Amino acid sequence: MSVRLIALLVLVLSVMPAIGQQAAPVVELAAGVHRIEAEVAATLESRMIGLMRRTAMPQQRGMLFVFTERAQHCMWMRNTDLPLSVAFLDDQGRIVNIEDMQPHTEDNHCARKPVRYALEMNLGWFKSRRIAPGATISGLQAVPSGR
């Protein structure tokens, strides 16, 4: 086999896992002056997968889970390699509570009140920006409904 053919084969094989997978839609949210690029997990399948198997995430990036109904939703970290903080948000985007989560654990981290959204960011993101319960995340009007 020629070097070119081997290089092409390696390239094709490295791209194949992404073929057929749809990228999660991304919306721009804000916590005061802090911009957030949030991948949206609005379907049951995307919520189940979440940030599993990711090994890195840019600081301004996160994942917004959109649930079909208001409830005291819980999150866990099975098969998740990144330490994360999750903010549970009410319908107006107000943070109800923030929980820190460690990788590869099955501990439940739950909203203290019924919520429709959960926003996962890198561990400590909210704390390092002095964002606490009661603060508002804006931009949710652009988010698709949960399905």
CB neighbours of 9 closer than 8 A, spacing ≥ 6? Answer: none
Q: Is 13 inside a domain boundary? A: no
Interval 34-64: pLDDT, tens: 999 999 999 999 999 989 989 999 999 999 9
* Stated pTM of the model: 0.82
The residue range of the domain holding 101 is: 22-142
Q: Is 8 inside a domain boundary? A: no
Contact between 120 and 57 under an 8 Å Cβ cutoff? The reply is no
Interval 58-82: pLDDT, tens: 999 999 999 999 999 999 999 999 9
Q: What is residue 102's predicted lDDT score, i.e. its pLDDT? A: 96
Q: Is 120 inside a domain boundary? A: yes
Interval 19-37: pLDDT, tens: 334 467 999 999 999 999 9
Q: Is 5 inside a domain boundary? A: no
- The DSSP call for residue 113 is S
